[in-house]
Amino acid sequence: MFQRLFGRERYANRAITEALYAQIVAAARQTVFYSAWNVPDTPLGRFEMLSLHMFLFQHRLRGEGGAAAEVAQVLIDEFFMDVEHSLRELGIGDVGVPKRMRKLAKMFYGRTAAYDDALQRNDHDALAVALARNVRPDAGAWPQASQLALYAADASRQLAEQPTESIVSGTVSFPVANA
């Protein structure tokens, strides 16, 4: 299966990558995050939601081998290429992009460590605190952090139930966020 998906069929690989990334982005762009849950609808707010969903996807495939490990790596590469493209669209020049990319990569991996720790311990409060610290650092109290933490934990459980074969074939499903 690994050879079939990632050995000779480059077009199929690209189609799988694009399908998975589109599903991750669609989940991160659910309107309720920005309207009812007060995630800032800014480039940084959208980065936070995309980072959360990319983390959840990577968290699901962690420890998998073969095609799943390859898909996980390709998707994280796609994520960082998308972030770089977004920086350029925002008008960041060639000189400033590498510095900002290093900062955003550090932010991403720092966040994922905090989210992973909270999910591993099944600690809702720690997850809500980490989300509030990252998504709304300037807000002080952010009551919707608890809702986002519940969503993230639910998404983690739902992703865990999805067969690896389905994911590496290009289908991943996140829960619908409800206000």
Question: How confident is the model over 123-170, as pLDDT tens digits?
Answer: 999 999 999 999 998 877 899 999 999 999 999 999 999 999 999 999
Amino acid 147: pLDDT = 96
Contact between 44 and 34 under an 8 Å Cβ cutoff? The reply is no
Answer whether residue 13 shows pLDDT above 90.
no
Torsion from C-alpha of 56, 173, 18, 69, nearest 10 degrees: 50
Q: Contacts by 159-163 with C-beta closer than 8 Å and gap 24+?
A: 159/56, 159/57, 159/59, 159/60, 160/60, 162/60
Chain centre distance of CA 3:
27
Question: Cα separations (Å) of 95 from 92, 100, 145?
Answer: 8, 10, 36
Torsion from C-alpha of 92, 88, 135, 121, nearest 10 degrees: -120
